[in-house]
Chain A
Amino acid sequence: MTRDVARQAVMRKKTIMPETTVKSPSGVNRVPNRGYGRWTPFWFLAPAVLTLLLIGIYPTIFALVTSFRRYNIARPREGFPFIGFENYASVLTDSTFWASLGTTARFYITVLPIEVMLGLCIALLLHKTGMGFLKALARVTLVVPLATTYAVVGLIGRLIFNRDFGVANQVLNTFGFDSFDWLGSPAGAFAAIAIMDIWQWTPFCALIFLAGLSMVPGEIEEAARLETSSKWALLKHVQLPYLLPGLTALLILRSADVLKLFDMVFVMTRGGPGSATDLVSIYIQRVGFRIFDLGTASAQAILLLILTIVISRLYIRILYKEVQ
């Protein structure tokens, strides 16, 4: 079916083209003057491309080059010599780096399924017919956590999980449980940063899924409802195919987000207690801006970039295949 559509588009193009060209007296086809020249699109695009090069590509190339140098800006007298793969070797044999990467993986595996499941539930609720005003209100409310700065989320987290006057313990006390030392125990601190991340990013998942659900043609959904009363069957066979592209984008974005998550965790725990919440971004920041070993920090960042690309390619390969 897709091939037919493409063929039709090509045919249309073929039939339109001769109409838009004008024959000159010399018999040469020329494009009529449409009010802009050949380079006009280039000038429109140039600022965006230049900005991207300046703030996106240049720093990445700089980090790549730096990762092959001994580059400690707190030791300017030692110079910044090229040292080949020494920084990469030191990162790959650094047990703290691997431990922080492990903590990040654990965090990712903990928060992502919960965010996806909760987000899907919220999206399905909002997709139901009726209660228009409340749904509109809920959609607006969903944006609030997303619009909150990471550092502020961290500060809110510090207050919520404070042992003595935090809301989290008040809730526990209401249900007859003892106060829990959230930020002072390794498990509690990990749970606290996970809860704050879920609070902030579940709405994003919900909105993406809601957009996917709104793409399902009404007549198909109605027909499916007449065929089956099972909500699960409806979700699996009718709605899910429309949700998969959004889910892929979501997984790619959240993978990158989790790998670079810094502000919220730094404000809440600074990576502690011990190394319970020492995510890889916190460790890289320490190496880069406490020790100022930018060579090693760049090598770590480049390795993370590679990891993000690999994970993204995997998602695209597995989930897009599913869509096709």
Chain B
Amino acid sequence: MKRLLKLCTSVLALAAATASLPAAAMADWLEDAAKPLKGTEISGIFLDRPGYRAIIKLLPEFEKKTGIKVNYEIVPYENTREKQVLNFTSQGDLTMALVDLVWIGEFAENGWIEPVADFSKDSKITDPNLKLDGFFPLLLDAFGSWGGKTYGLPFDNYSGLLFYNSCKLKEAGFDKPPATWDELAKVYAPKLTDASKNQYAYALQSLRGETQSADSFMRFLWPFGGSLLDKQFKSNLMSKESQAGLKFRQDLMKYMPPGIVSYDHAEAVNALAQGQVAMITEWSAFYGTLVDPATSKLGDCLAVAPEPAGPAGRLPALGGFSLAVAAQATDEQKKATWLFIQWATSEDIAKSYVDAGGVSGRMSVYKDPAVKAKYKFVDPMVASWQAGVPEFRPRFPAWPAISEVVAEWGSKMMLGEVTVDGGAKEVGTRMESILTKEGYYDGKKKLLQ
């Protein structure tokens, strides 16, 4: 009996030791790598979103292990690029870049961020368990890579998801969410809309700005087989497919609350949370807001599915941020920043990060049955990340200028101030003029997006 007890104890101890091995190993290499960098200060910009609040919660652990001080400033998304560009052009104090997927081309081409390979070849400061192939390939490709080089590691990751009120759908006779956009518009929307009771089937955030261009306009191009640009970088908005997508959006407006062009993310999420609409397509990051009883009335009625598919398949909105080392930092700061980035995006803290409210870009964490069971958004999100278009929004440096044009004319289309094809023509003309100035048509620049 004693021998059996001893054996069991040994097995348990071994299991416990094995389970804590990666964390212990991580701690070992991180502590060793950070020894010469103790006291170094690094700085970056964070957003006021769940993924950043999650890493801030875990930050003391990193600072304790490494002795590296992480300074961060929380900035609204709208000002993040402006703040970083001004900092990089004036050789400021940022040692880490927060790179939205649409900024990667601009940051990389201007030499403001450094390729990962510059650091990962130094084994003294590189996690032996770094495993770049452990990230969802779509995320690493879209958020962190430009021109065949990896610059940033996916940190705050989003996929467009269909959030819906399952109770409302049940009341209307549906026991599952719409699988296609066509089904949503023709079958679900008429039954879920009753304007006299201020009830609408669907809300699409369409406020002028990046919300209109990225979340509203672009969302209806790819699933319908359309795109912003063709292979020669000319406007593809007059193609049959792009026109079908944009006209579909226009027709769908009768099932949306009035004034949808003034809806930002907060308003769309709130419309679902307060029971005014039955469905929204929003970023996975808003799951936290929708399950929180303080901000949502949905309770158990909240359900999540992948975005509906279009004639070209399921090509949901893709968005997110990577972290990259800023080229302007000193050598010591670069090394310390690289250690932080590896730690923040590592497999070892992925579960703690998800539990703290973040969305990791690591595949392994979503295989954990406990994580799958706890978070309803995991399965649809993982499904969405299996296939997708990295250039859902072009990631080249010209995007901010094009985004402004799309935002203005996209809103005008929705308001009926211009027709769909009239607006698309105008966007196309102005976009091509921007790309001409950028040098895409005279062979000065590679056609990268």
Residues of A within 8 A of B412 (CB): 274-275
* Proximity bits, B65-94, A CB within 8 Å = 1, else 0: 000000000000000001001100100000
Residues of A within 8 A of B263 (CB): 184
What's the least CB distance linking B90 to chain A, in Å?
9
What's the least CB distance linking A199 to chain B, in Å?
20
CB closest chain-A residue, reference B86:
A73
B110 located at the interface, meaning its Cβ lies under 8 Å from any Cβ of chain A in the complex: yes
Kindly identify which residue among B110, B257, B258, B417 contacts A186, using a CB–CB cutoff of 8 Å. Answer: B417
CB closest chain-A residue, reference B211:
A270
Which one of B309-317, B356-364, B396-404 contacts A? B396-404
**A183 with B259: in contact, given A73-B85, A76-B110, A291-B404 (CB under 8 Å)?**
yes
What's the least CB distance linking B441 to chain A, in Å?
17
Chain A contacts with B in 82-132, Cβ cutoff 8 A: 96
Question: Could you tell me the distance between the alpha carbons of A163 and B259 in the complex, rounded to whole angstroms?
Answer: 8
CB closest chain-A residue, reference B410:
A274
**A77 with B110: in contact, given A272-B411, A274-B417 (CB under 8 Å)?**
yes
A263 located at the interface, meaning its Cβ lies under 8 Å from any Cβ of chain B in the complex: no
Question: Could you tell me the distance between the alpha carbons of A181 and B212 in the complex, rounded to whole angstroms?
Answer: 18
B349 located at the interface, meaning its Cβ lies under 8 Å from any Cβ of chain A in the complex: no
| B interface secondary structure, majority | helix
Chain A contacts with B in 41-84, Cβ cutoff 8 A: 73-77
Kindly identify which residue among B86, B262, B400, B403 contacts A273, using a CB–CB cutoff of 8 Å. Answer: B262
What's the least CB distance linking B276 to chain A, in Å?
7
Residues of B within 8 A of A182 (CB): 259
Residues of A within 8 A of B435 (CB): none
A7 located at the interface, meaning its Cβ lies under 8 Å from any Cβ of chain B in the complex: no
Residue among A77, A182, A270 with max Cβ neighbours from chain B (10 Å): A270
Kindly identify which residue among A185, A273, A290 contacts B208, using a CB–CB cutoff of 8 Å. Answer: A273
Residues of B within 8 A of A75 (CB): 110, 397
Contact B260 A184 (CB under 8 A): yes
Contact B207 A272 (CB under 8 A): yes
A320 located at the interface, meaning its Cβ lies under 8 Å from any Cβ of chain B in the complex: no
B7 located at the interface, meaning its Cβ lies under 8 Å from any Cβ of chain A in the complex: no
**A290 with B400: in contact, given A272-B207, A274-B417 (CB under 8 Å)?**
yes
B432 located at the interface, meaning its Cβ lies under 8 Å from any Cβ of chain A in the complex: no
Question: Could you tell me the distance between the alpha carbons of A107 and B404 in the complex, rounded to whole angstroms?
Answer: 22
Residues of B within 8 A of A272 (CB): 207-209, 212, 261-262, 407, 411
* Proximity bits, B200-218, A CB within 8 Å = 1, else 0: 0000000111001000000
Chain B contacts with A in 202-261, Cβ cutoff 8 A: 207-209, 212, 257-261
CB closest chain-A residue, reference B111:
A77
Contact B85 A274 (CB under 8 A): no
Contact A273 B261 (CB under 8 A): yes
CB closest chain-A residue, reference B430:
A96
CB closest chain-B residue, reference A181:
B259
CB closest chain-A residue, reference B112:
A76
Indicate the size class of the contact surface on chain B. 20 to 34
Kindly identify which residue among A76, A183, A274 contacts B411, using a CB–CB cutoff of 8 Å. Answer: A274
Kindly identify which residue among B212, B259, B401, B408 contacts A185, using a CB–CB cutoff of 8 Å. Answer: B259
CB closest chain-B residue, reference A183:
B262
Question: Could you tell me the distance between the alpha carbons of A163 and B258 in the complex, rounded to whole angstroms?
Answer: 9
CB closest chain-A residue, reference B198:
A164
Question: Could you tell me the distance between the alpha carbons of A278 and B409 in the complex, rounded to whole angstroms?
Answer: 13
Question: Could you tell me the distance between the alpha carbons of A288 and B207 in the complex, rounded to whole angstroms?
Answer: 21
Question: Could you tell me the distance between the alpha carbons of A179 and B89 in the complex, rounded to whole angstroms?
Answer: 48
Question: Could you tell me the distance between the alpha carbons of A272 and B404 in the complex, rounded to whole angstroms?
Answer: 12
Chain B contacts with A in 407-449, Cβ cutoff 8 A: 407-408, 411-412, 414-415, 417
Kindly identify which residue among B82, B208, B257, B400 contacts A270, using a CB–CB cutoff of 8 Å. Answer: B208
B141 located at the interface, meaning its Cβ lies under 8 Å from any Cβ of chain A in the complex: no
A189 located at the interface, meaning its Cβ lies under 8 Å from any Cβ of chain B in the complex: yes
What's the least CB distance linking B35 to chain A, in Å?
36
A315 located at the interface, meaning its Cβ lies under 8 Å from any Cβ of chain B in the complex: no
B106 located at the interface, meaning its Cβ lies under 8 Å from any Cβ of chain A in the complex: yes
| A interface secondary structure, majority | loop
Question: Could you tell me the distance between the alpha carbons of A75 and B208 in the complex, rounded to whole angstroms?
Answer: 25
Residue among A74, A181, A184, A269 with max Cβ neighbours from chain B (10 Å): A74
Residues of A within 8 A of B260 (CB): 184
Residue among A185, A189, A271, A272 with max Cβ neighbours from chain B (10 Å): A272
Kindly identify which residue among A74, A96, A181, A290 contacts B110, using a CB–CB cutoff of 8 Å. Answer: A74
Residues of A within 8 A of B257 (CB): 163
Contact A289 B208 (CB under 8 A): no
Residues of B within 8 A of A73 (CB): 85-86, 89
Residues of A within 8 A of B207 (CB): 270, 272
CB closest chain-B residue, reference A288:
B82
Residues of A within 8 A of B414 (CB): 273
Kindly identify which residue among A74, A164, A189, A270 contacts B276, using a CB–CB cutoff of 8 Å. Answer: A164
What's the least CB distance linking A283 to chain B, in Å?
9
What's the least CB distance linking A219 to chain B, in Å?
57
CB closest chain-A residue, reference B260:
A184
Contact B404 A290 (CB under 8 A): yes
Question: Could you tell me the distance between the alpha carbons of A81 and B105 in the complex, rounded to whole angstroms?
Answer: 24
**A291 with B401: in contact, given A181-B258, A270-B208, A273-B415 (CB under 8 Å)?**
yes
What's the least CB distance linking A83 to chain B, in Å?
12
Contact A291 B258 (CB under 8 A): no
What's the least CB distance linking B113 to chain A, in Å?
14
Residues of A within 8 A of B106 (CB): 74
Question: Could you tell me the distance between the alpha carbons of A289 and B79 in the complex, rounded to whole angstroms?
Answer: 9
Kindly identify which residue among A184, A273, A286 contacts B404, using a CB–CB cutoff of 8 Å. Answer: A286
CB closest chain-A residue, reference B258:
A181
Question: Could you tell me the distance between the alpha carbons of A275 and B260 in the complex, rounded to whole angstroms?
Answer: 15
Residues of B within 8 A of A181 (CB): 258-259, 262
Contact A184 B208 (CB under 8 A): no
Kindly identify which residue among A76, A163, A269, A278 contacts B89, using a CB–CB cutoff of 8 Å. Answer: A76
Q: Report 19 cross-chain contacts, Cβ distance below 8 Å, ordered by A residue.
A: A73-B85, A73-B86, A74-B397, A74-B400, A96-B408, A163-B259, A184-B258, A184-B260, A184-B261, A185-B415, A186-B417, A269-B262, A272-B207, A273-B262, A273-B411, A274-B261, A275-B411, A286-B404, A290-B401
Known: A272-B208, A286-B404. 12 other contacts (CB 8 A): A183-B262, A184-B259, A185-B259, A270-B208, A272-B209, A272-B411, A273-B208, A273-B262, A274-B408, A275-B408, A289-B82, A291-B401
* Interface pairs A-B: 6 shortest CB-CB: A184-B259, A272-B208, A181-B259, A273-B261, A183-B262, A184-B262
B residues engaging A (CB < 8 A)? 82, 85-86, 89, 106, 110, 198, 207-209, 212, 257-263, 276, 397, 400-401, 403-404, 407-408, 411-412, 414-415, 417
